[in-house]
Amino acid sequence: MNFTLKIWRQKNQNDEGKFETYEAKNISPDASFLEMLDVLNNQLVMEDREPVAFDHDCREGICGSCGMMINGRAHGKGRKQATCDVRMRNFTDGQTITVEPWRANPFPVIKDLIVDRTAFERIMQAGGFISVRTGGVPDANSIPVRRENAEESMDAAACIGCGACVAACPNSSAMLFVAAKVSQFALLPQGQPERKERVQRMVAQMDKEGFGNCSNNYACEAECPKGVSVMHIARLNREFLLAKLT
């Protein structure tokens, strides 16, 4: 298959950046989107041009490193996919594909398609944990957990921290990301002691980083590679309100 690629190139955070057009030729329909970019990059190297920088690592949709806007959609149009899961057979031969980095103020571009997502780190550091030390904990089976709760907690915990929710949201809201963590712990007995402090701290840090608020667009859920549901945002709101009121 052959494609015309319009890719965002930006030297560094201070550079203005612009689209450049490339041709990718003889791409196998079974190749992944990132493998297509590998082929393009080798071609660019051969032409003495700088290859396109993008974050990637596990290439099986779990590490959360990769992320780009493909034709205006976070991780492309497929459901429940990270960019590395996208296969070229889902495009049509000869198609023009536009590739951009996540666009959100709290995620400044580092280079080309690589953005700085350390705002997520600071939110996690503010409260995305249970304050347990290593050692001295009870036997794992001493506290039963309702199966439904464990399952729902796991649904939330599946978040890979890629930032697609932020990129997809018109408000650049990180509420799905924050909600996933708050929800995971709120549903488990182990998460109860710090329940109120956790949600307040994480939300405060989220606001401080400049992420917007949720206005029920649900684009985050639609683009989330792990299908994390906006129901968790509802829980986040409840948890936040409860923490403030009681």
Partner 1 sequence: MKLDSKIPDGPIEKKWSSHRFNMKLVNPSNRRKYSVIVVGTGLAGASAAASLAELGYKVISISYHESPRRAHSIAAQGGINAPKNYTNDGDSVYRLFYDTLKGGDYRAREANVYRLAEVSGSIIDQCVAQGVPFARDYAGYLDLRSFGGAQVSRTFYARGQTGQQLLLGAYSALSRQIGAGTVKFFDRREMIELVVVDGMARGIICRNLKTGAIESYVADAVVLATGGYANTFYLSTMAKASNATAIWRAYKKGALFANPCFTQIHPTCIPVSGDYQSKLTLMSESLRNDGRIWVPRKSGDSRTPAQIPENERDYYLERLYPSFGNLVPRDVASRRAKEICDKGFGVGKTKMSVYLDFADALKRNGKHWIEEKYGNLFDMYHEITAEDPYADPMRIYPAVHYTMGGLWVDYNLMSTIPGLFVIGEANFSDHGANRLGASALMQGLADGYFILPYTLSDYFARTKFSSLATNHSEFGKANRSAAERLEKLLAIKGKQPVSEIHKKLGKVLWDFVGMGKNEKGLKKALKLIPEIKKEFWSDAKVIGDSDNLNIELEKAGRIADFLELAELLTFDALHRKESCGGHFREECQTPEGEALRNDKKYAYAAAWEFTGDSKEPKLNKEPLTFEYVKPSERSYK
Alpha carbons 246 and 244: distance in angstroms, whole number: 6
- Asked if residue 67 lies in contact with residue 82, where contact means CB atoms within 8 angstroms, the answer is yes
Q: In the bound complex, what is the minimum distance in angstroms from residue 40's beta carbon to partner 1?
A: 11
Rounded to a whole number of angstroms, the minimum distance from the CB of residue 217 to partner 1 is: 25
State which amino acid sits at residue 166.
V
Tokens 């057009």 belong to which residue?
Answer: 21
Site for partner 1 in 142-181 (CB under 8 A): 143-147, 150-151, 153-154, 157-158, 160-161
DSSP code of 2? -
Kindly state the smallest distance separating residue 79's Cβ from partner 1, in Å: 10
- Measured from the Cβ of residue 216, the count of other Cβ atoms closer than 10 Å reads 8
88-to-30, 137, 199, 224, 229 alpha-carbon distances in Å: 6, 48, 40, 20, 27
Q: Does 184 bind partner 1 (CB under 8 A)?
A: yes
> Min. distance of Cβ 241 from partner 1 in angstroms?
22
Among residues 145 and 217, whose Cβ is nearest to partner 1? 145
Residue of 31, 231, 234, 243 interacting with partner 1 (CB under 8 A): 31
- For the bound state, the minimum distance from the C-beta of residue 34 to partner 1, rounded and expressed in Å, comes to 7
- The DSSP code sequence of 123-183 is HHHHH-S----SS----TTSS---HHHHHHHHHHHT-----HHHHH-TT-B-HHHHHHHHH
Q: How far is the CB of 89 from partner 1 (least distance, A)?
A: 7
Q: Which parts of 212-241 interact with partner 1 (CB under 8 A)?
A: none
Q: Which is nearer to partner 1, 19 or 129 (CB)?
A: 129
Give the binding range for partner 1 (CB under 8 A) out of 167-175, 184-192, 212-220, 238-246: 184-192
Interface residue with partner 1 among 42, 95, 213, 215 (CB under 8 A) is 42
Which of 6, 9, 17, 59 touches partner 1 by CB under 8 A? 59
- DSSP code at position 11: S
When asked if residue 204 is in the footprint of partner 1 (CB under 8 A), the reply is no
Alpha helices in the chain (DSSP H): 33-46, 118-127, 147-157, 164-168, 175-186, 195-208, 219-223, 231-245
Contacts with partner 1 in 80-139 (CB under 8 A)? 80-81, 85, 87, 89, 110-111, 114, 116-118, 120-121, 124-126, 128-135, 137-139
